Chains A and B, each alone.
Chain A
Amino acid sequence: MSRLQLVPKYPREKQVMMNLNGDEAIAYAAKQSYVDVVAAYPITPQTIIVEKYSEFVANGEVHTEFVPVESEHSAMSACVGAAAAGARAFTATSSQGLALMVEILYIASGLRLPIVLAVVNRALSAPINIHNDHSDAYLMRDSGWIMLFAENVQEAYDTTIQAFKIAEHPEVQLPTSVHIDGFFLSHTLENIYTLPDEAVYEFLGGPRKIPKVRVDYFGEEVDYVLNPARPLSFGNLALYDYYFEMKIPQLIAINKALDVIKQVNEEWYELTGRRYGNGLVDPYMVEDADIVIVAMGSGAGTIRSVVKKYRERGLKIGLLRVRSYRPFPHSDIRNLLRNTKLVVVMDRAIGPGQYGALYLDIASTLYHERSRPILVDYVYGLGGRDLSPDMVSTMINQLVKDLERGYIPEEERLRFLGVRG
């Protein structure tokens, strides 16, 4: 890194240490982010976020209007209404609740409303299960949302605040989700550093700013908001003559977010002294590695500790944590994995009839490389099954053999870690 030993604007001694779990950290971050409307519905393991926020409201600590909706579908619908009316809107959910929201997720992004959603990742039914995996997150993969995955509670706090800034960036204007692993992060206490309220307020530039838009029937640029002074119509019917064109600006905006996420990561670093890789990917000992493990979420913590042990024993192994799942940072990943011999993708969800979702993304990224690494998909941790260091070691031992063999037979390219045979 070019900048040597930057002194952050808020060094640790100016920050406030708090003992919070992941849900509380997110609720606290939202509280500091000057949110106007929270519309939410409880579901384990997200509940603490809703409960905490209700307390802030009950104690008059926030100006937020809290809408205790009757379903997640209504939660996202109310956020769409609130954001269209000019509010900064926030909600949170998990699993079945996210499934119920899906219809409106596409509408939120199509209408370019910078809503922030915390997803406490949990397995999908059936069988019903309250514990973590990433199957719910993939429901929203193509919904047009920016999706950021945090590894620990500190990052959950940091990313929630960053999410508002990314979502509301003038060239982005897209809803953004912050993902944490259910129970592993949502219910685990961690000492984290938090900023004073005014620092967050300043970082976000105060309340939400409304972008401008130009329509033929006003001779001036007008606010993109439901505004009695300059009425606009949101959510129109567009058929084959316009639908296609209307989707393109959305794609441009989410790709623009690649730069914005990086930039916000740097700004956060200057403010707090903390950053997560380049914001998009968080590599650990990847540069000279023969084997690289790709993962998302809290599992990366466990993997990193095992990777460190193997490094000490001389194995050239690294970890690449993907932080921004959408937009997917193809070029960063390609640059980092270019010289790797074996890439193993850790998927915390199945893709029935197909490889795991993250594997497909990585495969598509590497396809255009001249010398493609060997690629293997490991599905792990479904329904909250723990990823133990032993499991990671078992996997790495197998990978070493695979590397020696020089290839992985087709029937072995999808493997399961930690399932009883």
Chain B
Amino acid sequence: MVVKTIPEIPVKKGEPPYKLWIFEPGEKKEFPLVFNLRQLAEQRRPALIPGHRLCAGCAAPIVVKLASFAFRGPTIVVSATGCLEVSTSIYPYTSWAVPWIHNAFENAAATASGIEAAIKALKKTGRLKYDHVDVVVFAGDGGTYDIGFQALSGMAERGHDVLYILYDNEAYMNTGIQRSGGTPKFAWTTTSPVGSVLPGKGEHKKPIADIMVAHRIPYVATATPAHWMDLMKKVRKGIEVNGPAFIHALSSCDRGWRHEEAISIEILRRAVDTCYFPLWEWTPETGYLLTDRSLVIARNPSLKQPIDKFLEVQGRFRHLLRPENKELLKQLQDYVDAVWEDLLKRASNAPR
């Protein structure tokens, strides 16, 4: 069956919500950021359409969906190899409503650099049909912390106008839950198994967003889909700045974290409530600023939950709750507290 009608945005009443994003040449309209959800549902379609084969309850498509609600207009999306890419592009089907490219695992940032350069060259020579075309990357933790880090750092250093969104499910999920530089200490993965000698991964999570701050690019932020308004605002800021932007979005994986499907959003809320994953943004002008729930916690420290609240619902940390591993749990709590304290010192909007 051929879809004959070229769909329009905004969505007309009664029209199916699953249609491609079409921007006719010369289209100048910029989408406003909408936080009224009914309005949003009536005016915007997500960049991802259903029929994708991500696990039930996977948070990765929620990250993409919410981020795409904050896109401002014509946008090209680049994906690194990983769960999101594989499950949304099983031939002959695509789940992408926007122009999309997957190149390889470690080169999403380099691919995006090339696209951005092409857009500039086309614009310079009068061949670009739009005022601007935004370039947004979605890559996993493996494709960002580890194998793709060089390309990401290069893209940041060269100053390409690209928004890079890391959906961090804290392991190589697509290949079957192997540890990455983004896997937290003591987490079980298939390459950091819990054995009679070793209690899961031996090393802490790499502070990737701080490393991107050290690049002094125009915008860096952390986010979770559970804090959707915060995430959407950050995505829009990341797109609007001139130059590279990096958003580190925590993304739960029921299969790899071993939790119930229904609590994917709940768990991300707990990640923030326990200060395991604080929400902040950084610009060269403002420095670190706490946002959303993390700012609330900074102002009212009694709201800060113990790390157990984050761990107890996840099978990958089950061993930490055994009495003999009390010391390990404390180690993890101390680490989370230290990182949080450090952030409070740096964040200019944290109460002194």
Interface set of A (CB-CB < 8 Å, partner B): 36-37, 39, 63-65, 67-71, 73-75, 77-87, 89, 103-104, 107, 207, 216-219, 226-239, 241-242, 246
Contacts and interface: CB of A to CB of B under 8 A. Distances in A.
Given A234-B101, A236-B90, A67 B114 contact: yes
B267 to A, nearest CB: 28
Given A81-B111, A217-B2, A234-B102, A226 B76 contact: yes
Interface in B77-128: 78, 85-86, 89-92, 94, 96-104, 106-107, 109-115, 117-122, 124-125, 127
B150 A229 contact: no
B89 A79 contact: no
Contacts of B122: 36, 85-87
A228 B74 contact: yes
Nearest to B107: A77
Contacts of A227: 99
Interface of B: 1-4, 6, 20-25, 27, 73-76, 78, 85-86, 89-92, 94, 96-104, 106-107, 109-115, 117-122, 124-125, 127, 129-130, 133, 150-151, 153-154, 157-158
B114 A104 contact: no
A233 to B, nearest CB: 4
Contacts of A37: 114, 117-118, 121
B244 to A, nearest CB: 13
A221 to B, nearest CB: 12
Q: Which 6 A-B pairs have the closest CB atoms?
A: A81-B114, A78-B114, A70-B154, A228-B74, A74-B110, A77-B107
Contacts of A74: 107, 109-110, 113, 150-151, 154
A234 B124 CA distance: 25
Given A207-B125, A227-B99, A239-B91, A103 B114 contact: no
A86 B116 CA distance: 11
**Chain A CB within 10 Å, residue with most, of B6, B98, B100, B118:** B118
B346 to A, nearest CB: 28
A421 B111 CA distance: 49
Contacts of A82: 114-115, 117-118, 121
Contacts of A68: 158
A230 B118 contact: no
B98 A242 contact: no
Contact of B119 (A67, A83, A85, A230): A85
Nearest to B4: A219
A32 to B, nearest CB: 15
A228 to B, nearest CB: 4
Main secondary structure of the interface of A (DSSP, over half): loop
A63 B118 CA distance: 11
B114 A228 contact: no
Contacts of B102: 234-236
B125 A86 contact: no
Given A78-B113, A217-B20, A219-B4, A228 B75 contact: yes
Contacts of B120: 65
Given A36-B118, A81-B78, A81-B103, A231 B110 contact: no
A78 B113 CA distance: 6
Contact of A71 (B111, B130, B150): B150
A231 B96 contact: yes
Given A228-B99, A236-B102, A238-B91, A87 B121 contact: yes
Contacts of B104: 77, 103-104, 107
Given A73-B106, A235-B101, A239-B91, A228 B115 contact: no
Contact of A84 (B24, B89, B98, B115): B115
A85 B134 CA distance: 12
B100 A237 contact: no
A194 B85 CA distance: 46
A242 B90 CA distance: 10
B186 to A, nearest CB: 33
Given A217-B20, A226-B101, A239-B90, A78 B76 contact: no
A397 to B, nearest CB: 51
Contacts of A103: 104
B85 A233 contact: no
B125 A63 contact: yes
B110 A69 contact: yes
A216 B151 contact: no
Given A67-B158, A85-B119, A80 B114 contact: yes
A231 B97 contact: yes
Given A67-B114, A74-B154, A104 B2 contact: no
A73 B263 CA distance: 39
Contacts of A86: 118, 122, 127
Contact of A237 (B2, B85, B129): B85
10 contacts: A37-B117, A68-B158, A74-B151, A77-B111, A81-B103, A81-B118, A82-B114, A217-B20, A219-B2, A236-B94
B107 A233 contact: no
A312 B91 CA distance: 62
Contacts of A84: 101, 115
B27 to A, nearest CB: 8
Contact of B3 (A39, A217, A229): A217
A63 B133 CA distance: 19
B22 A79 contact: no
Contacts of A70: 150-151, 153-154, 157
Given A70-B151, A71-B150, A81-B101, A229 B24 contact: yes
Contacts of A63: 121, 124-125
Contacts of A89: 114, 118
**Chain B CB within 10 Å, residue with most, of A67, A75, A78:** A78
A216 B89 contact: no
A74 B107 CA distance: 6
B23 A228 contact: yes
Contacts of B106: 73
A68 B106 CA distance: 18
B148 to A, nearest CB: 10
B130 to A, nearest CB: 7
